[in-house]
Chains A and B, each alone.
Chain A
Amino acid sequence: MVELIQISPCAGLLPITLGSVTLDEQDVGRLTSLSPFGDASDLSAALEKAHGCTWPKPNRSTGKDGGRCIWFGRDEALLIGPAPDMGLAKHGAVVDQSDAWAVVSLAGPGAVDVLARLVPVDLRDAAFKRGHTVRTQVMHMNASITKLGTDHLMIMVFRSMAGTLVYDLKGAMAAVASRG
């Protein structure tokens, strides 16, 4: 009997712990890109009704674990967790991206210092609070970074770049760890 086997983007690469920081792959469930055809208000209402989270403002996320919606760029949000309600498709493009992104978590004291080696955005606690999210770059890769909690960040890059993401983060983690 033939069977298709699933392989995750960072299979065989993670977890890694260096110093006080741990990098691990995250299984967050379904990833669905949502883009309204025009104004986002109808889509927002449908989103709240179906999944309990509203359309996020730029640089912010709504909802919680298991049903989170993060701002993902101009006129785009990413629904993380549940399978999308098909009613959403009336108000905008609903595109499955579950396999398109490598999703990792960087956690532990110093996680923000590690990202300061790679990300040109201020991610320190005072500027980047729980639930905040940014579209930016990790070294040379376009990325999405969301703060899940103190010293706990979710980082997403294109799946094909998982190896480079781990390489870049590992180097930064080693440098931060070496400073003690």
Chain B
Amino acid sequence: MRIDCPMCGSRDRREYYYQGGAVMLARPAPDAGEAAWDDYLHLRENPAGETEELWQHDGGCGAWLVVTRDTVSHEISNVALAEDVKRAMRKAS
């Protein structure tokens, strides 16, 4: 398996650390309430299809990445820097 790091280029999976769902970028406000926090920390979609995941290129540039991956075909359709995704989220809200 390979991931195309936006900084380093296509690299072997061994250089990457896997974290989990990319929903971790949307940290709720401290007073968002129990349900929002429970959702943020514990509840994840488990789709047979496209999903957004967080990976870190810790054996390379160190960037956190949002990787769009198909859980059925394993095809990776997009890789973006987490900082860019987060900035775009800020702008949109």
| A and B in contact, CB less than 8 Å | yes
User: A73 near B62 (CB under 8 angstroms)?
Assistant: yes
Q: Whole-angstrom distance between the alpha carbons of A73 and B11 in the complex?
A: 14
Among B1-33, those with CB < 8 Å from A are 7-9, 11-12, 14-15
In the complex, whether A46 has a CB less than 8 A from a CB of chain B is no
In the complex, whether A134 has a CB less than 8 A from a CB of chain B is yes
In the complex, whether B63 has a CB less than 8 A from a CB of chain A is yes
Residues of A with C-beta under 8 A to B59: 135-137, 142
Q: Whole-angstrom distance between the alpha carbons of A76 and B63 in the complex?
A: 11
User: A74 near B9 (CB under 8 angstroms)?
Assistant: no
Within 8 Å by CB of B12, from A74, A120, A142, lies A120
User: A135 near B14 (CB under 8 angstroms)?
Assistant: no
Chain B residues with a Cβ closer than 8 Å to the other chain, count: 13
User: B9 near A136 (CB under 8 angstroms)?
Assistant: no
* Closest chain B CB from A138 CB (angstroms): 10
Residues of B with C-beta under 8 A to A19: none
In the complex, whether A121 has a CB less than 8 A from a CB of chain B is yes
User: A120 near B14 (CB under 8 angstroms)?
Assistant: yes
User: A137 near B15 (CB under 8 angstroms)?
Assistant: yes
Residues of B with C-beta under 8 A to A131: none
Residues of B with C-beta under 8 A to A142: 58-59
Residues of B with C-beta under 8 A to A74: 7, 61-63
User: B7 near A58 (CB under 8 angstroms)?
Assistant: yes
* Closest chain A CB from B61 CB (angstroms): 4
**Chain A residue with minimal CB distance to B5?**
A58
In the complex, whether B60 has a CB less than 8 A from a CB of chain A is yes
Q: Interface residues, chain A, CB within 8 Å of chain B?
A: 58-59, 73-74, 76, 120-121, 134-137, 142
Q: Interface residues, chain B, CB within 8 Å of chain A?
A: 7-9, 11-12, 14-15, 58-63
8 residue pairs, one from A and one from B, having the closest CB atoms: A120-B12, A74-B63, A74-B61, A73-B61, A137-B59, A58-B7, A73-B62, A135-B60
